[in-house]
Amino acid sequence: MIRIALTMLRTDRAKCTAMILAVTFSVFLMQNQCAILASLYRMMTAQIDDVTDAPLWVMEPDTRCFEQAKPVKDGTLERVRSRSGVAWAVPLLKIDTMARSDSGLLCTVTVMGVDEASMVGLPSRFRIGQPEAIRPAGTCAVDPGGYAQLFPGEPVHFPRRIRILDESLVLTGMTEASAPFTGFPILHCSRVTALRLNKAENRTATFIIGDFTPGANRAAVCESITAATGLSAMDRAGFGEMARRFYNSQGVPRLFWITIAIGLLTGTAITAQTFSMFVREHTTQLAVCRVMGVTRARIIAMVLCQGLFVLSIGCAFGTGLTAITTHAAASEPFLRGIVLPPQVAAGTCAALAAITIAAVTIMARRVALMDPAIVFRS
């Protein structure tokens, strides 16, 4: 009887197609927006999360996120190091500047200068080359999307030259740095190299990063750093949380949520409306089945399977469409951070499915409870 139910559905081409399209576009719209939003959230903390070897972050109180960070005053490093509960601490210098590639292309870049003794602050993996290769002054590594922006269409090979201000830098490798919120190339180098590009005289570190001594109360350590230096101190999760709060307060995520809600509402409304029309038109046929001894439970199962059929095909099409478009977007170096996380793909389908199945169940119950004697009257 399930097969019969699906045949009924497939034969009503117009409605079946309309419902599948409604689900497809709703899923696509939601997934597309959710994917961008989720990717934005990931990028808001990408460079913070990349620093896996330093859980402690100290910064100016004005700093709200990684991208808009004010450098700390010199001399702070020693005061942080001297706090009890701090195992070690090193400077991290971030500079936003302009780079020119050897082909003459000009590009805004983010330069990250790590402590040359410890090399703490680098992404945990290199795609090409190794951390040692950027220890010498005048060398740096670039992230994959950054390479594509600096040298569009060119094959990957090292070493290569770029110019920043009046300095000439040699690219010696490629990191696995996460795609940044700004979309710009991320260059990692040692702090000596970065200092040559630094224009702020007495501020030679943007963050102090370090670790807590084992067993230390992190919150208490952070408080004592703040008390001693007047700087903000927090662990990695706390900094990420602050960055997200900052971007949330800028209002962008709200716009995405509105579009996602519209996608959900129109998708479920059109699907439920069309499905209800479909069921109404097939009520007599289902009544005939009831008269011929099909049980109520079986009728409900038939209608539910019709709903599930539409949903699963629509969700598959929609997810496929999102996968294709996000993949296409991510191949654009500037948009390399846009991905479709599997949780987002599953979550949007689940949200749509939950509401639609609820509506379908109500309709299925209604037809199952109809008076089958209507077959004698129509």
DSSP letter at 96 equals: E
Stretch that binds other proteins, among 8-16, 144-152, 178-186, 348-356 (CB under 8 A): 8-16
Task: In angstroms, give the least distance from the CB of 291 to other proteins.
Answer: 6
Q: Which amino acid is at 51?
A: V
Task: In angstroms, give the least distance from the CB of 22 to other proteins.
Answer: 21
Q: Which residues pair with 187 in a beta bridge?
A: 111, 142
Task: In angstroms, give the least distance from the CB of 11 to other proteins.
Answer: 4
Nearer to other proteins, 171 or 287 (CB): 287
CA angle 177, 115, 135 (to 5 degrees): 75
| Cβ atoms of residues 134 and 115 within 8 Å | no
Task: In angstroms, give the least distance from the CB of 21 to other proteins.
Answer: 20
Nearer to other proteins, 36 or 303 (CB): 303
Q: Which of 126, 133, 59, 139 has its CA nearest to residue 94?
A: 59
Contacts with other proteins by CB under 8 A: the residue count is 25
Q: Which amino acid is at 62?
A: D
Nearer to other proteins, 155 or 376 (CB): 376
Q: Rounded to whole angstroms, how far apart are CA atoms 306 and 262?
A: 25
**215 lines the binding site for other proteins (CB under 8 A):** no
| Cβ atoms of residues 124 and 50 within 8 Å | yes
Contacts of other proteins in 268-287 (CB under 8 A): 284-285
C-alpha distance from residue 157 to each of 125, 142, 170, 186 (Å): 18, 12, 12, 17
Nearer to other proteins, 100 or 296 (CB): 296
CA angle 127, 117, 219 (to 5 degrees): 90
Q: Rounded to whole angstroms, how far apart are CA atoms 342 and 17?
A: 26
Nearer to other proteins, 128 or 302 (CB): 302
Task: In angstroms, give the least distance from the CB of 368 to other proteins.
Answer: 12
Contacting other proteins (CB under 8 A), which of 84, 215, 292, 342?
292
Task: In angstroms, give the least distance from the CB of 290 to other proteins.
Answer: 8
Task: In angstroms, give the least distance from the CB of 183 to other proteins.
Answer: 52
Nearer to other proteins, 280 or 327 (CB): 280
Question: 123: which 2 tokens?
Answer: 């992404």
Contacts of other proteins in 334-373 (CB under 8 A): 371-373
Q: Rounded to whole angstroms, how far apart are CA atoms 36 and 209?
A: 30
**4 lines the binding site for other proteins (CB under 8 A):** yes
**84 lines the binding site for other proteins (CB under 8 A):** no
Cis peptide bond prior to 342, omega within 30° of 0: no
**291 lines the binding site for other proteins (CB under 8 A):** yes
**293 lines the binding site for other proteins (CB under 8 A):** yes
**14 lines the binding site for other proteins (CB under 8 A):** no
H or E segment and range at residue 94: strand 86-101
Nearer to other proteins, 35 or 299 (CB): 299
| Cβ atoms of residues 28 and 161 within 8 Å | no
The DSSP secondary structure of 296-354, one letter per residue, reads: HHHHHHHHHHHHHHHHHHHHHHHHHHHHHHHHHHHTSGGGTT----HHHHHHHHHHHHH
Contacting other proteins (CB under 8 A), which of 127, 218, 244, 298?
298
Question: 321: which 2 tokens?
Answer: 């469409």
Stretch that binds other proteins, among 4-12, 17-25, 313-321, 339-347 (CB under 8 A): 4-12
Contacting other proteins (CB under 8 A), which of 119, 288, 308, 357?
288
Contacting other proteins (CB under 8 A), which of 295, 324, 346, 354?
295
Question: 120: which 2 tokens?
Answer: 């703490």
Contact residues toward other proteins (CB under 8 A) are 1, 3-4, 7-8, 10-12, 284-285, 288-289, 291-295, 298, 371-373, 375-378
